[in-house]
Structure 1
């Protein structure tokens, strides 16, 4: 039975229908990119369950924690809160891969026709919990899943040595923009960065910052960046009814960041296309043994849009003030 379940997991596509989380409707009834990513991850987890390998049971019985380690999405039309989205998860894992790979597509109804709203690539691993205090017994790993089991997510090489941080120690969830490590990470770049002490709500399996936690920080990074540049989200909404609109995003985990570690989040503008779109890169670091360790990286492509009647959106060309703020021009 288990061998059949693993075969299904690796070869058979599944389709599920979900409605987006209401929390994601930050502007009108349109769902933000972060909650679109949540929906994608949820559908991959549904794929495991439908194939007979629910991720909860994999942890409870074998000590294997499901972790999304890569998610890359292109949004071609907005999801809205009333959508009953049809989500297909198609396995695309190659024979020699150490990560489970899937292509995910989200289709919605628009004016009586089916329209593909999102396409995504997802990779996942099964992280083995070695803690014998938590895992008192373990069943054998299901045959065929062994190559996807890892004792550590990623294995990044330590980077540059850093100047020790100064000032008061942060409390859980606390943050600061003032730290010599931040100065080192942003020197010479069109960037904004802050230090953030990883709190319990951002982790899973007791200790690890999970992919959705990184996505939350990616969304916050955008808000912090424009606020620091004098074009906050609220300001542009009040002045022009402009709201950031995401067309593409990606996230890749490179190593593990842990509960109550200080995470250094760096948001850097990489490229600007006319006054319509710009792409930013997100890099996430911890400091261990006096050296930087990059735990994740990602990117996000933004424009500005106007939303009317709750869900009718269109991209707009931004003005020189916004262009100078984004480019870092004085």
Structure 2
């Protein structure tokens, strides 16, 4: 069995599904590759998710992933995922694209992983005992909000965009709760819905300005389990406009239990646009007053 402190390097490729604009890969699939790298680290040490679940009654759960995306990733790139255990439940992950005889760093991430107790089974081996947690909320602290009326009305206070979705089985794992990648998908979708609601949809800006969406940072953190078939109330709002070229957005997710909204996840994203045509093709677009007003709600 490979030692816990040693780094694992896994060869992989992005999925074709992620090439939504030209042949560039979207941020969601960067985070999917991070997940594959982390699972490869456990597998190399004899603790793949199947072994952990059936033999030790443990479910692998990414509870936090914070990533920087310094360069684009292309659909045909071969990627080396370098995963280092940095102590406790924490990992450092690097994704390096191998292209044209050289290497390009396309992601740096910090990841927290918990092995959640699912059922009674064999005693947990010492090398992985430090990863074990009773629940996701044993790793992070949930936020509770009183709610005696309509959750959407309460959460939309202050101009937040709210989207409610049902936690269907394909968002979940272990026949129980929404997994980390389910919230990554939710972050992608709530941003898309928010932009359309504000009149600056991805398609509109591409058609009218040749602006292509880019993401330079993203973080998704689980707080409390959202259970299969619960309704997840998801908010999104823009905080700061950064250097007139990027906006900082925040997502929060809640479920209603009794008269309380319980936070289940939180996320942040730094988003901008690359110019897709003309002399400045490839440069970051400057967010003009009309776009800033739409993003911040000043025109509502």
TM tier, smaller:
over 0.9
- 1:16-46 deviations in Å (ceiling 9; x for gaps): 1111011011111111000000000101101
Query: Are positions 1:236 and 2:167 aligned together?
Result: no
The residue matched to 1:216 in structure 2 has which SS? helix
Does 2:151 align with 1:181?
Answer: yes
Q: Which position in structure 2 is the counterpart of 1:296?
A: 265
Corresponding residue for residue 45 of structure 2: 51
Given candidates 81, 84, 95, the residue that maps to 1:90 is: 84
Match of 2:31 among 31, 37, 57: 37
The alpha carbon displacement at 1:111 in A equals: 4.9
Matched, 1:68 2:62: yes
1:218 CA drift (Å) = 0.1
* 1:28–1:307 CA contact under 8 A, matched in 2: no
Structure 1 residues 273 and 158 mapped into 2: Cα distance closer, same or farther (>3 Å)?
closer
Deviation at 1:252, TM superposition (A): 1.0
User: Structure 2: any 5+ residue segments left out of the alignment?
Assistant: none
Matches within 5 A, 1:131-150: 138-150=121-133
Alpha-carbon distance between aligned partners in 2 of 1:146 and 1:265, rounded to the nearest angstrom? 34
Shift of 1:320: 2.4
Quote how far apart the aligned CAs of 1:199 are: 0.8
Aligned mate of 2:183, from 193, 200, 214: 214
Distance 1:219 1:282 in 2: 10
User: Runs ≥4 in structure 1, deviation > 6 angstroms?
Assistant: none
CA distance in 2, matches of 1:110, 1:140: 45
Tell me the TM-score normalised to structure 1 length: 0.85
How many angstroms does 1:319 deviate by?
A: 2.7
Long gaps (5+) in structure 1: 165-179
Q: The residue matched to 2:294 in structure 1 has which SS?
A: helix
Native 8 Å contact 1:245 1:303 kept in 2: yes
Looking at structure 2, the residues matched to 21 and 110 of structure 1 have their Cα atoms a distance apart, in angstroms, of 17
Q: Is the 8 A contact 2:97 2:105 kept in 1?
A: yes
Conserved? CA contact 1:158–1:291, under 8 Å: no
Q: Distance in 2 between matches of 1:319 and 1:158?
A: 36
After superposition, residues 281-292 of structure 1 pair within 5 angstroms as: 281-292=250-261
Shift of 1:147: 3.0
Superposition RMSD on alpha carbons, in Å? Answer: 1.8
Q: CA deviation at 1:67?
A: 0.5
Q: TM-score, normalised by structure 2?
A: 0.93
Q: Which moved more, 1:314-323 or 1:266-275?
A: 314-323
Separation in structure 2 between the aligned mates of residue 78 and residue 158 of structure 1, nearest angstrom: 35
The one-character-per-residue Cα deviations of 1:125-167 (angstroms, maximum 9, x if unpaired) are 111113xxxx7xx222112322321221115455221024xxx
Give me the whole-angstrom Cα distance separating, in 2, the residues matched to 1:306 and 1:157: 40
Q: Is the 8 A contact 1:126 1:149 kept in 2?
A: yes
Q: Is 1:129 matched up with 2:86?
A: no
CA distance in 2, matches of 1:306, 1:112: 27
Q: Does the 8 Å contact 2:161/2:194 carry over to 1?
A: yes
C-alpha separation in 2, matches of 1:102 and 1:43:
10
SS of the residue 2:31 aligns to: helix
